[in-house]
Amino acid sequence: MAHLRDCKAWQDAGLLLSTTSNEACKMYDAALTQYVTWKNDNSLGGLEGTFSKLQAADPNFLMGHVIANGLVLIGTGSSPRLDRKLDGAIKKMVALSQSQPLTEREKLHVSALELFANGQLPKACDTWDQILQNHPTDLLALKFAHDTYFYLGHQTQMRDSIARVYPYWTPDIPLSSYLKGMYSFGLMETNFFDRAEKLAYEALAINQTDAWSVHTIAHVNEMKADLKSGLSFMKQTENNWKDSDMLACHNYWHWALYFIEKGDYEAALTIYDTHIAPRCQFSGTMLDVVDNCSMLYRLQLEGLNVGDRWKAVNQLTKKHAKDHILVFNDAHILMSSLGAQDHKTTDELLATLHEVTQAPDEDHELNLVPKLGLPLLKAFVEFDNGNYDKAVELLYPIRYQIVEIGGSNAQRDIFAQLLIHAALKCKSKANQKLARCLLLERDELRPNSPLTERLLRKTTALHALG
Ligand SMILES: [Fe+2]
């Protein structure tokens, strides 16, 4: 990796790192670069190898601990409540921060991670934004905030936290083109599709391997149900983003979504079997795991038999059934245990969710459980049991609040689809009418969607029968 910044380079950039080891500074830069580009650098042994080198260069380098712990936390695959190793690492980082002189910025980084580890996600974001007021080019703070706003469903904040620092990012700053991709994602999630697309293309003109900018364009095409552009763009750019191993599975998921839209389920399944499933089995990361669950569940909603594919996914998800880090993750883990008919895991997930919710303290996600998490999860269970009226009863009242569980508009569409399918399957006329209303609304906002048209035809058939 070329031009990694040493102690002086970081200091000159106004982002002093409290270590005398140039190697530690360079490995911090290498880790940050891999995080922002979504790509493990094999020449360094990936993030894992980078962190070993960083640790060896200066075991007490605080920002090294911050980035290593932060990446585990932000991955949402380990809960400090259950994972002793992670809990110990955070405690060690806090102790280290108290035993050496640090800059104000570094101290705030530690506080932000402590808040995140404690489930106080909005306060963690406030802390990163506080850092950015004085240090608008602190990419670690920016990216942690970006990802956490995403988990919170705070779409406007995700856009604006980049907007307010964007002018400071002159082209000479390393990784500056990636800011365009991050900003464009926030613009896209707040429905500024044209501006989002323009910025993402600007980023790609500078660096065509920017997988996050590719991803924004994938979303724009998804939101517009523009299958033709979506399919050709993914095909044309595949070689540029497929080696961004931390995001490739997700970009393939987007590609497969266009095939589901089109009704070409075999093509979607082929992408699933060739790229989505193997990458997930290899990485086991939560992003890949939720994509696997979401893809199989969507195909099932479309009426496809996905065979025993759930079994392999469930092997991965059941290990996370007690984590309860994000309601969004819980919903996907549940799809998998239901899909695999693993009743034990389904029961365990719901029972432990009840348990942890008894003492939510300041954990943001756990506080969402009574009003959002439980009705959402129960709706999946009722749907699975064929109790479609009950599923509608649970889902319909919360549909405008579901954004609060985070994820992207495209990812959360699965909940909108579940509600429509449940309403369509109801015996009651009222709910069948509701299905038609929901579909008409969907068609207005996202015209020319073949998926919507297929479902609308079902409501017409129901009307003809009734
Ligand atoms: Fe996405």
At 257-301, the pLDDT tens digits run 999 999 999 999 999 999 999 999 999 999 999 999 999 999 999
pLDDT at 3: 87
pLDDT at 466: 53
> Ligand 1 centre from 88 Cα, in Å?
32
Cα 236 to its chain centre, rounded Å, is 24
8 Å CB contact between 63 and 51: no
Please give the tally of structural domains in the chain: 1
Q: Does the residue 26 lie in any domain? A: yes
8 Å CB contact between 310 and 296: yes
Burial of 160 (0-12, 13-18, 19+ CB in 10 A): middle
Token reading at 399: 């549909």
Q: What is the mean pLDDT of the chain?
A: 96
Average pLDDT over residues 240-261: 98
Residue (of 412, 415, 420) closest to 376 by Cα position:
415
> Ligand 1 centre from 125 Cα, in Å?
21
Q: How far is CA 180 from CA 1, 206, 237, 402, 462, in A?
A: 22, 10, 18, 28, 47
Distance between CA atoms of residues 331 and 294, nearest Å: 10
> Ligand 1 centre from 410 Cα, in Å?
7
Q: Report the alpha-carbon angle 291-156-284, nearest 5.
A: 20
Q: Does the residue 211 lie in any domain? A: no
Per-residue pLDDT band at 82 (split at 50, 70, 90): very high
Average pLDDT over residues 189-210: 98
Residue 364: pLDDT above 90?
yes
> Ligand 1 centre from 185 Cα, in Å?
9
Distance between CA atoms of residues 334 and 379, nearest Å: 11
> Ligand 1 centre from 171 Cα, in Å?
26
> Ligand 1 centre from 329 Cα, in Å?
15
Average pLDDT over residues 146-167: 98
> Ligand 1 centre from 225 Cα, in Å?
14
Q: Does the residue 52 lie in any domain? A: yes
Percent pLDDT > 70 in the chain is: 98
> Ligand 1 centre from 197 Cα, in Å?
14
Sequence-distant (6+) residues with CB within 8 A of 429 are: 466
> Ligand 1 centre from 194 Cα, in Å?
17
> Ligand 1 centre from 456 Cα, in Å?
26
Instruction: Please list the alpha-helical segments (H only) found in 318-408.
Output: 327-339, 343-358, 364-368, 374-384, 388-395
Average pLDDT over residues 426-454: 96
Burial of 396 (0-12, 13-18, 19+ CB in 10 A): middle
> Ligand 1 centre from 411 Cα, in Å?
7
pLDDT at 237: 98
Q: Does the residue 231 lie in any domain? A: no
> Ligand 1 centre from 250 Cα, in Å?
6
> Ligand 1 centre from 409 Cα, in Å?
8
Q: Cα-atom radius of gyration of the chain, to the nearest Å?
A: 22
Residue 73: pLDDT above 70?
yes
Q: Does the residue 401 lie in any domain? A: no
> Ligand 1 centre from 287 Cα, in Å?
10
Q: Does the residue 347 lie in any domain? A: no
> Ligand 1 centre from 108 Cα, in Å?
30
> Ligand 1 centre from 438 Cα, in Å?
23
pLDDT at 280: 95
> Ligand 1 centre from 48 Cα, in Å?
25
Say how many C-beta atoms besides its own lie within 10 A of residue 329's C-beta.
25
pLDDT at 135: 98
Residue 133: pLDDT above 70?
yes
Residue 46: pLDDT above 60?
yes
> Ligand 1 centre from 219 Cα, in Å?
6
> Ligand 1 centre from 366 Cα, in Å?
24
pLDDT at 84: 96
Residue 116 is part of a domain; what is its CATH number? 1.25.40
Q: Does the residue 12 lie in any domain? A: yes
Q: Does the residue 191 lie in any domain? A: no
Percent pLDDT > 90 in the chain is: 96
Residue 2: pLDDT above 80?
no
> Ligand 1 centre from 251 Cα, in Å?
7
> Ligand 1 centre from 245 Cα, in Å?
15
pLDDT at 415: 98
pLDDT at 460: 76
> Ligand 1 centre from 408 Cα, in Å?
6
> Ligand 1 centre from 254 Cα, in Å?
7
- 197-206: b (≥16 Cβ within 10 Å) or e: bebbeebbee
Residue 380: pLDDT above 60?
yes
> Ligand 1 centre from 260 Cα, in Å?
15
The boundaries of the domain holding residue 17 are 1-174
Average pLDDT over residues 79-95: 96
